[in-house]
Amino acid sequence: MIFSNQEIIRDNNDIRIGSVQMDSQEISFNNYTLKVKHRILKLVTHYVKGLMADGLLYEQAIKETADLVYGYLNISKDDLFAADEEQITDDIIKSFEYQNWETKVYYRFLNTHVGVTTKETNIPAGGDLHKDISEETIAHLENEESLWTILEALVSENL
């Protein structure tokens, strides 16, 4: 099951950024953001491996992946050092675009049960998708999920 709580996942960008696979019927904000980070790490790793399959050395693949990410997202100039996939993922998480998206999601989590919900409170993870999420987006996620999916959604979310 994909995380699809309508209170949290409200549009195509939300589903493209935050569509994580669920093992249970409920999740806390902290566990949700950890799953999103793990998903981003997996996509970064897959992208680097694809570049290496095309003949680049590991260091070159990391640099090209980092250049792609840094070209899309607003990341502090102090953080422009990518030694590996985890550092690139951390830079994505620190970016203005990701932080803006995560803040919106955080307040949606808190609004599920006003005054009761905290970062550790579990909320329902499933349900029908929000009416503003298109069938095309779901089909794209099922067929062609990539690092581009996250980057384009983060940029689009902040336009």
| Token pair belonging to 152 | 């384009």
SS (H, E, C) 87-124: HHHHHHHHCHHHHHHHHHHHHHHHHCCCCCCCCCCCEE
135 Cβ neighbours under 8 A, 6+ residues apart: none
In a domain, 110, yes or no: yes
In a domain, 97, yes or no: yes
Write out the chain's pLDDT in tens, 159 residues.
Answer: 889 899 999 999 999 999 899 999 999 999 999 999 999 999 999 999 999 999 999 999 999 999 999 999 998 766 567 789 999 999 999 999 999 999 999 999 998 888 888 888 899 998 888 888 887 887 777 667 799 999 999 999 887
In a domain, 157, yes or no: no
In a domain, 119, yes or no: yes
H/E element holding 27? strand 26-27
In a domain, 57, yes or no: yes
In a domain, 133, yes or no: no
Q: Which domain holds residue 100?
A: 12-126
In a domain, 136, yes or no: no
- How far is 102 from 91, CA to CA, in rounded Å? 14
Encoded amino acid at 74, one letter = N
Q: Count how many domains the chain has.
A: 1
Global pTM value = 0.90
